[in-house]
């Protein structure tokens, strides 16, 4: 939340905050987020059609109200309507991973989180840990993140103190 708040205060606040929100909320790899096109998003139905990389499983995710509102605002403010990419530079080309890393460096400093060395992939990991902390089942997290192999998902559950809750009744 502090990253998103700090992102809103920048020159490209809406775009940057929405990128962070989408990466965290849907466990997107940076390349997946940067390849997102408007044709992958159904704002009327509130569905995000995900194309996973690294041999991951594609799937549809439900968009939350905050995401739908942010994406609609971005679409209205799009200065390059011919471009189909969601996250673009001021010239209308897709953002590069280097640009996003520099953006996150500035935003994390503004948010007082520079000491954490925030990287785009941290947002994906944060999603997995968040779902685990909320008590989501390992297989649900696996499916949500698009992992083919459950071994890639176990890291999120292993560190959660909630994993032992309910083993014994008091």
Active site residues: 29, 54, 121, 124, 147, 156
Contact 10, 16 (CB under 8 A): yes
Name the token pair of 33: 């987020």
Any idea what the Cα angle at residue 52 is, between residues 8 and 157, rounded to 5°?
80
Helix, strand, or coil here: 140? helix
What's the rounded Cα separation, in Å, for the pair 86 and 107? 20
Name the token pair of 6: 């700090």
Contact 86, 38 (CB under 8 A): yes
Cα-Cα-Cα-Cα torsion 45, 48, 51, 53, nearest 10 degrees, comes to -170
The beta-strand segments (E) located in 23-121 are 41-42, 47-50, 59-62
């Amino acid at each position: 939340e502090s990253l998103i708040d700090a992102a809103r205060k920048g020159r490209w606040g809406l775009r940057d905050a929405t990128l962070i929100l989408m990466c965290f909320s849907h466990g997107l790899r940076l390349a997946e987020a940067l390849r997102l096109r408007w044709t992958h998003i159904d704002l009327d139905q509130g569905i995000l059609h995900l194309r996973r990389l690294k041999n991951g499983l594609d799937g549809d995710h439900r968009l939350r109200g905050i995401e739908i509102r942010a994406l609609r605002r971005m679409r209205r403010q799009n200065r390059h309507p011919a471009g189909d990419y969601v996250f673009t530079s001021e010239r209308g080309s897709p953002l590069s991973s280097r640009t996003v890393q520099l953006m996150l460096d500035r935003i994390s400093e503004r948010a007082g989180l520079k000491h954490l060395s925030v990287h785009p992939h941290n947002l994906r990991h944060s999603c997995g840990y968040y779902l685990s902390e909320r008590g989501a089942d390992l297989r649900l997290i696996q499916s949500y993140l698009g992992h083919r192999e459950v071994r890639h998902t176990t890291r999120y559950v292993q560190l959660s103190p909630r994993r032992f809750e309910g083993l014994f009744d008091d």
